[in-house]
Amino acid sequence: MKIDVGIGDIARWEDEVVVVNLFEGVAHPGGATGAVDTAIGHQITAMIATGDLTGKFKEVAVLPSFDRIPGNRVMVVGLGKRDDFTLDRVREVSATAAVKIRDMGLRTFATIVHGAGVGDLDLGDAAEAVVEGTLLGLYRYTEHKTENDKKKIESVTVVNMDKARAGALRDAVHRASVVATMANFARDLINAPSNAKTPRLLADRVRDAAKETGAKLTVFDEKQLEKMAFGCLLGVAKGSVEPPRFLMLEYQGGGKSRPIVFVGKGITFDSGGIALKPLEAPGGGGMWLMRDDMGGAAVALCAVLAAARLKMPRNVVALAPLTENMPSGSAQKPGDIVRSFGGKTVEVINPDAEGRLVLADALGYAKTLKPQAVVDLATLTGAMTVALGKHAAGLFSTDPTLAGRIARAAEATSERVWPFPLWDEYAEQIKSDFADVKNSGGRAAGSITAAKFLQRFAEGMAWAHLDIAGTAWVEGGPDSPNKDYLPKGASGYGVRLLVRLLRDWDTAR
C-alpha cells in the first residue's frame, strides 16, 4: 500500500473519501473538520444538532459531498471525550476509519492528522500514530486462502496545511510506515502454520528480508551448533526430524559502539515434547496455537530489520534460536541433564519448559558480543497470561536504567509492560540436586522462576526479559484488547516497542 504526504486543505482534496474527526460534545466543529463542514453546507453541524453524530469514540459517519468539494465522500470519525484523548486513540480511530473504508469497497482515501495540536501532542507523533493505526488495522493474513476478499486499500494520503512542517511530516510517515510494515511482517511469520516455517524455512524467509534491508544474516546449522556446544538448543531439537537453526542478524549503524542485542525465543512448534500439551485448552487455544511460540524470535528479527531500513545510528543484533519441540523416541526426557553454551549444566525437569533452554544458549552467546544491553522476548509462561491477561507483558530486569528505557518506550507505543521482582528467594525453586540449575520451579510464581532461570545465563550483562505470552496473540473476546489495530491472530507485539527503545536510546537515560 502506498502512503503519501499531501500539503494543503483537506476540504479541497480530491479522493474517494476524505477523513476528518470530531470530539464528543462539540456542537460546532473547527479546524479541518469545520472547513469541510462549511464547504459541504454544514451537514456535519446539522447531524450533531439532530443527535445523529455525537463524536463518541470510534463512531463513524459517512456523508456524500454532493460535488461541493473534490472529495467524493466525507468520513467523520469520533475521537471521544477530549479529556480521555491519548496518542493510542489516534491509532485506534485511524484503524477504525481505514477498515470501514476498505469494507465499503473503496481503494483510496485522504486523512487529516488526528489529534495534531491537541494539548502537547506533536504533529510528528500524531502522524506516526495515524500511519501505524492504518497499516496495523488493515493487516490480514491471507497467504493460504484460495478465495480472498478482493477489497483492498491501495493508497492513503496524509494531508496537513503546514507547509513549513512538510519535511518533518514526511519523516514521521516514512518512519511509521517502516515500523508498522515490519510489525506486520512479524505477524506474517507468527501467523504462518508450523509446516510453512520449520527452522530452515524460517531462516530462508529472514535471509530474503535481510537482503532487502542490508542487514547481515548468519545462520548456524546443527553441525556448527554441536561444535559451538549449544547443548540446550540441541537437547530440545532431539525430538524432531527438523534440524535446528541459530540466526544472528546484524545491523551496523553505530560505528564502533557496542551492540544492543535482542534475543527471541524461536520454537516454531511446541507440542510440549514428551510432556505433551492438550489439543484443546480451557478458555480457548490449545496445541494448534503453539505456532506462535516463535513470536519472540520474529519480533527481535523484525526490530533489527526495521532499524536497518531506517538507517538508525545504532549497532543492533538479533539472536534467534529456532527449533521444534516434538515427542519421539529420541526426545529429551524428564531428568535429562544438558550443558549450555558457556558450560552451565541444566536438569530438564519439564520438557515443556523448553523456551528457557534455547534462550539459555542464546543469552550465553550474547555475552561474547560484549553488548551494551540485552533484551530477550519470549512467549514463555502461561503464568504470565494468568497474571496480566493479554494487555501487558511482564518485565524483569537486573538493570534499572534499561528497565526505565523499556518502560518509556512501552508508554510511547502503548505496548505495555509491567515490572516483576527478581528476588533471590525465588532462586530456591530452581536449585537442582544434580546440576547447576533445573529448568522448572513448579507452578508457584512460574513466570518469576522462569525469569530467574534466564538470569543465571545473563549474569554480567545489562539484561531485561519480556514475557510476551499474553500479548503475542489476539483471540478476541472480553479478555482481549479491544483495539481495531489488533485484529485476530498474531499481534506483532514488541516490534514498535523495540524500535522506539533504539530511537530514544541516547535521550532516555
Catalytic pick among 356, 416, 438, 503: 356
Q: Which candidate, 336, 347, 319, places its Cα nearest to that of 433?
A: 347
Q: Which candidate, 149, 160, 328, 314, places its Cα nearest to that of 237?
A: 328
Burial of 36 (0-12, 13-18, 19+ CB in 10 A): buried
The Cβ-side half-sphere exposure at 227, using a 13 Å CA radius, reads: 4
Q: Which one-letter amino acid corresponds to residue 137?
A: G
Is 277 among the residues known to form the active site?
A: yes
HEC secondary structure over 98-160: HHHHHHCCCCEEEEECCCCCCCCCCHHHHHHHHHHHHHHHHCCCCCCCCCCCCCCCCEEEEEE
Q: Which candidate, 478, 473, 476, places its Cα nearest to that of 489?
A: 473
User: 396 and 451 in contact (C-beta within 8 Å)?
Assistant: yes
Distance CA 450, CA 428 (A): 12
User: Among the residues of 346-464, which ranges form H helices?
Assistant: 355-367, 382-388, 400-413, 446-457
Give the start-end residues of each E strand in 28-82. Answer: 60-64, 73-80
User: 350 and 295 in contact (C-beta within 8 Å)?
Assistant: no
Distance CA 486, CA 61 (A): 22
Distance CA 368, CA 175 (A): 32
Instruction: Give the relative orientation of helices 495-503 and 400-413 as an angle to the nearest 10 degrees.
Output: 120
CA 56 to chain centre: 28
Cell triple for 437:
540449575
Q: Which candidate, 108, 118, 63, places its Cα nearest to that of 87?
A: 118
* Contact residues for 142 (Cβ-Cβ < 8 A; gap 6+): 148, 149
Rg of the chain taking only CA atoms, in angstroms: 24
Catalytic pick among 89, 277, 339, 500: 277
Q: Which one-letter amino acid corresponds to residue 182?
A: M
Q: Which candidate, 456, 406, 407, 410, places its Cα nearest to that of 429?
A: 456
Distance CA 435, CA 419 (A): 29
Catalytic residues: 277, 356
